Structure 1
Amino acid sequence: MSARKQTNTPLLQTALNGIALQRRLLLALSTAGLLTLGGPAALAQAKAGGTLNWAVNPVPSSIVPLTTTAGGNTEIGPKIVEGLLTYDEELRPKPLLATAWTVSKDGLQYKFELRRGVKWHDGKDFSSADVAFSINTLKQVHPRGRATFANVTEVRTPDAHTAVIVLSKPSPFLLTALAAAESPIVPKHLYEGSDVAASKYNSAPVGTGPFVFKEWVQGSHIILERNPNYWDKPKPYLDRVVVRFVTDSAARAAALESGSLDLGAGGGGIPITDVERFKKLPNVNVESRNWAYVGDHQQIYFNLDTPALQKIEVRRALAQSIDLNAFNRTVWLGLGKLSASPIGTLQSRYHDKSIQPYPFNPKQAEADLDAAGYKRDAQGTRLKLRLLFNPFVDRRAVDFVRQSLGRIGVDANIEAYDFATYVTKAYTERAFDITFESLTNIFDPSVGVQRIFWSKNFKVGLPFSNAPHYVNPEVDRLLEAAAVEVDEAKRRDLFVAFQQQVHKDIPSIEVGANPNVTVSSKRVHQYAPTGEGIRGSFSELYLAP
């Protein structure tokens, strides 16, 4: 796998100036494709064959991460469909469906040379037409793609192996937004002319990736089989991946301990209370890390269409009733990384550490609720609110919030749903007052954070977007300016001003990075050699004693 040397333009140099991540990009652009991710030593030991039993939870509503950023889709999809690029753990881009790329001097054109000889799983040729269709589709239907590709005016296809993304304004994060989990390339010949959101290929995908979709037995499993015609031979090494949906955490833990499951991460892993015990088991590895491309972050959103929650005094009172330090100790066992800002500590170059949680002060919270006109009734209740939660969130976290609110007279009724129903309730029906979410920061605030607080990203039915229905013209201005600002110092200033304004407005209670624990059998190797972590392709994963 190789790529020619890339061209670095003066504008690109300016855009990257001062950013450690983007400085390293320059080296990657000149060496892209010369090294194999995972290293030659790992490949020398790779063994062909075998079946991986992988636990995923919750059960996704589809597989391809085209119209959704749901965890199940972003984990399973990249084994089947691919992106233009992949990334190492420093987020340096590496070739995938694109083998080389250049950026024009004005930063408004990104030219990609596409890999030749790639076939879709149905035997059709992959071409630039697929890239153009996918980018234009992501701009319309993907929750983050609406912002990521907002400045894309067209995708030119001068020939079958060249695609040129044309922008109206610079996009300093674009080269980091092209992973399969974030911007999957899908077959134009199967999607064109159809309702993309309702396409059967979202749940029975045809891709170019290392594994071919075989079957999905609802409530049980998905089977992926080795792609014998994969362009990067001899990969993949596995014969089969069986995605098993085990929704009960105790059952997952038992299966991982017994060896009937080989891999479980995040929502498909073990309860955090089992971590120390699992570390002592001889047959598994336990790893806790936050993958660079994902940027774990959890938060509590207020529905600003709920009359009581339109009052900032009420939102402030609810924020002051929750002791986040106690939350981290009791729910996350001290393994989380708290952040009162929507840009978490994992994005340290933009995180404003001066922003602190509203002080835990239940007495003041009660006084504020009294003043706002919400006094306790004869039963001691001030308000009744619907409390939803994304199934990716630990139920104990939701119980903690309910108990905290109950102490100040707010009756938060927990409504628990499967993942698909939750998405409908929260983002289509908007049938909630408070929801505990798990919307990751991703690799850049313009992609992972803007979607939540940008008023133009509020759209009924669009999952994982502006759940609060938050509208602030100044915040819109700051986010839109940061999304195109190539001067790093100015871009950081814009993001700092954004964080401070959101903190004042309290559309959310930001919690921070939840612990991300992965349990794998000791026979599992190279399950996450890229910056995408478990959202990578599994093309290098192999089983060996």
Structure 2
Amino acid sequence: MRKLLTLTAVLAAALTVSAHAQQPKNVFTVVRPTQWGAQNFNPFAPGDQHLLPTNSAIYESLFYVNTLNGKVTPVLGTKYTWSADNKTLTVSTRPGVKWHDGSAFSARDAAFTFNYLKQYPALDTSAIWKNGLAGAKATNDTTLVLTFSKANTTIFPYIAGQMIVPEAIWSKITSPLTETNAKPVGTGPFTFDAYSQQALRVLKNPNYWMKGQPYIDAVVWVSTNSNDAALLKLLKGEADYGYVGQADPVNGYQKKGPNNQFWWPVTGDNYLYFNTTKAPFNDPAFRRALSQGVNTANVAEKAYAGAAKAAHSSGIIPGQQAQWLPAGTASLKYDMAAADAALTRAGYKKNAQGVRLGKDGKPLPTFKILVGAGWTDFITMAQVVGGDLKKIGLNTQIDQQAWSSYSGGLQTGTFDMGISWGWGGGPTPYYLFNQSFGPEYSAAVGKTAPSNLSRYTNPAVTAALTQFQSTSDTAAQKKAMATIVRAVMTDMPWLPLTDRSEFSNYSTVRFTGFPTAQNPYNSGTADDTAGARLMYLNVKPK
């Protein structure tokens, strides 16, 4: 108990003295390897500007959509229906909910929130209005009606995840971009209590609409200056939860104590992006042959010591494959001899020295593989990829760049090959493919592409994406997805290398009820996300 008492003393010193006479009993402690800034609880501000509890404990959305499996959990909304033409979304909102100041929540607050995004477009970071929302109104206290100029059912997760604010307060705020909202009023399971540069605390909302929940009295966040320092607090039992990346979570954390657990669900992949605007990467046959010549299982093993697996070459994550991967779609098999033969067959022969030649008969140049500077996992991936490509006659060089030039190179199309995560994702593969290959997410070389890093477009893929978003019929969506998968796996504008996981680590010394593979009630996302709200609601003191 000495360590926990020591931490309690540290928190008492770090936090402003609360007006509450009695200190909370069951305090859930989260360790965060970051340094936070000013006291900002503006739910419209970007995640790196508002404080951690804002969208995880204080404010709430209409629904929570689990990106692992697409499951929809009601929050301030209780049910939703699309009209026959998929141009009207009707949401029933929850009765009996109170804002933290005691006033009643209603559908009118939800309608105000969406219209507020229209009034101040800079707040609409999900581009809800640009993607077809035409009107938002409450027809009564428990009915929200959203109308659309075009059918776009795939907008639902963005509608569902929008944090709802009270009209009575925010209608008076005319500069929402700079508003710090130091005393937030939400509907969430916790209310703001105290804050310092080392720790911050929220207290259980005694009037929360879920009777009997949360089971804990408070959540405290403690900051550290590194992943290692955060992990040490978990190992010492000084924290209950930490979103902390590690090279080897089994040996580095789980095996160091009987109560040390981690759940790292796969929510995306890491990719080798090919710049399809440059020869020879503009040749699908060349890209496919390279993809066949890379041993992605070895890439995953070397980069993550078995904590991550090789990705399926469709790019569809494991939790979505059963529903969305067309039956019988096998991952591209590593075969160096086949890759070598395919390159020759496509017109890229070898000279007497074993160097691969272009179609013009001249030796191909040394290709650069762009990675983030110091990112050991990506650097390791690039080393394995380069070694494999060397075996089929291609020379590569690792190009480490600081974040601004790394991301800038990917987005402006000045790279040859680059390793990065998927710049898109959601509860179905549509979100990944749309943001990765949609024409609107691309740009001319030298201009900034929001997320289509390979600058690959295909009329068949574009049409299928439109077909998918215009229907709520699952069978029709699966047919469209099959078209997309076939095209992408044929053209290989990228090579999915490894699965990419969330980093939820927790200690069961004092609490139970964490999300697990057996009970994935959230997607394992970080402590400041909407999914974390479900963790704060479900963890129970032992």
| TM-score for both structures, normalised by structure 2 | 0.70
Deviation at 1:259, TM superposition (A): 1.4
- Alignment match, 2:353: none
Aligned: 1:400 with 2:386: no
- Alignment match, 2:242: 264
Aligned residues of 2:430 and 2:481 also touching (Cα < 8 A):
no
Aligned residues of 1:68 and 1:142 also touching (Cα < 8 A):
no
Counterpart Cα distance in 2 of 1:337 and 1:506: 16
Counterpart Cα distance in 1 of 2:45 and 2:360: 42
SS of the residue aligned with 1:514?
strand
The correspondence for 1:166, drawn from 128, 131, 147, is 147
Aligned residues of 1:144 and 1:451 also touching (Cα < 8 A):
no
- Alignment match, 1:28: none
Aligned residues of 1:374 and 1:383 also touching (Cα < 8 A):
no
Deviates more, 1:490-499 or 1:247-256: 247-256
- Alignment match, 1:436: 420
SS of the residue aligned with 1:297?
strand
SS of the residue aligned with 2:452?
coil
Structure possessing the higher radius of gyration over alpha carbons: 2
Aligned residues of 2:26 and 2:541 also touching (Cα < 8 A):
no
The correspondence for 2:325, drawn from 348, 351, 357, is 351
- Alignment match, 1:22: none
Deviation at 1:258, TM superposition (A): 1.1
Aligned residues of 2:372 and 2:406 also touching (Cα < 8 A):
no
Deviates more, 1:309-318 or 1:481-490: 309-318
The correspondence for 1:414, drawn from 400, 405, 417, is 400
Counterpart Cα distance in 1 of 2:100 and 2:460: 47
Counterpart Cα distance in 1 of 2:106 and 2:358: 63
SS of the residue aligned with 1:299?
strand
SS of the residue aligned with 1:396?
helix
- Alignment match, 1:494: 480
Deviation at 1:206, TM superposition (A): 5.4
The Cα offsets for residues 43-68 of structure 1, whole Å up to 9 and x where unpaired, read as xxxxx733333244677999878686
The correspondence for 1:279, drawn from 254, 275, 280, is 254
The alpha-carbon distance between structure 1 residues 399 and 173, as it changes in their structure 2 partners (threshold 3 A), is same
The alpha-carbon distance between structure 1 residues 135 and 310, as it changes in their structure 2 partners (threshold 3 A), is farther
- Alignment match, 2:15: none
The alpha-carbon distance between structure 1 residues 439 and 423, as it changes in their structure 2 partners (threshold 3 A), is same
The Cα offsets for residues 324-343 of structure 1, whole Å up to 9 and x where unpaired, read as 01123333444425210133
- Alignment match, 2:18: none
The Cα offsets for residues 509-542 of structure 1, whole Å up to 9 and x where unpaired, read as 2235335553311122223372444423044244
The correspondence for 2:430, drawn from 442, 446, 450, is 446
Aligned: 1:300 with 2:263: no
Aligned residues of 1:104 and 1:110 also touching (Cα < 8 A):
yes
Aligned partner of 2:320: which letter?
A: Q
Deviation at 1:127, TM superposition (A): 4.0
Aligned partner of 1:157: which letter?
A: A
Deviation at 1:484, TM superposition (A): 1.9
- Alignment match, 1:329: 301
Counterpart Cα distance in 2 of 1:423 and 1:202: 34
1:132-281 matched pairs, under 5 angstroms: 132-135=111-114, 145-146=126-127, 150-172=131-153, 179=160, 182-187=161-166, 189-190=169-170, 198-201=177-180, 207-213=186-192, 223-246=201-224, 248-265=226-243, 268-271=244-247, 273-276=248-251, 278-281=253-256
- Alignment match, 1:16: none
Deviates more, 1:60-69 or 1:496-505: 60-69
Counterpart Cα distance in 1 of 2:264 and 2:288: 32
1:312-327 matched pairs, under 5 angstroms: 312=284, 315-316=287-288, 319-320=291-292, 322-327=294-299
The alpha-carbon distance between structure 1 residues 524 and 306, as it changes in their structure 2 partners (threshold 3 A), is farther
Deviation at 1:495, TM superposition (A): 0.8
SS of the residue aligned with 1:540?
helix
1:70-85 matched pairs, under 5 angstroms: 77-85=55-63
| Number of residue pairs the alignment of both structures matches | 477
The correspondence for 1:342, drawn from 287, 290, 315, is 315
Deviation at 1:83, TM superposition (A): 1.3
Deviation at 1:498, TM superposition (A): 0.8
SS of the residue aligned with 2:431?
helix
Counterpart Cα distance in 2 of 1:278 and 1:297: 23
Counterpart Cα distance in 2 of 1:467 and 1:202: 36
Deviates more, 1:150-159 or 1:472-481: 150-159
The alpha-carbon distance between structure 1 residues 429 and 103, as it changes in their structure 2 partners (threshold 3 A), is closer
- Alignment match, 1:484: 470
1:487-526 matched pairs, under 5 angstroms: 487-516=473-502, 518-522=504-508, 523-526=510-513
Aligned partner of 2:372: which letter?
A: L
- Alignment match, 1:41: none
Aligned residues of 2:260 and 2:506 also touching (Cα < 8 A):
yes
The alpha-carbon distance between structure 1 residues 511 and 428, as it changes in their structure 2 partners (threshold 3 A), is closer
The alpha-carbon distance between structure 1 residues 431 and 383, as it changes in their structure 2 partners (threshold 3 A), is closer
Counterpart Cα distance in 2 of 1:517 and 1:256: 13
- Alignment match, 2:27: 51
| TM-score for both structures, normalised by structure 1 | 0.70
SS of the residue aligned with 2:331?
coil
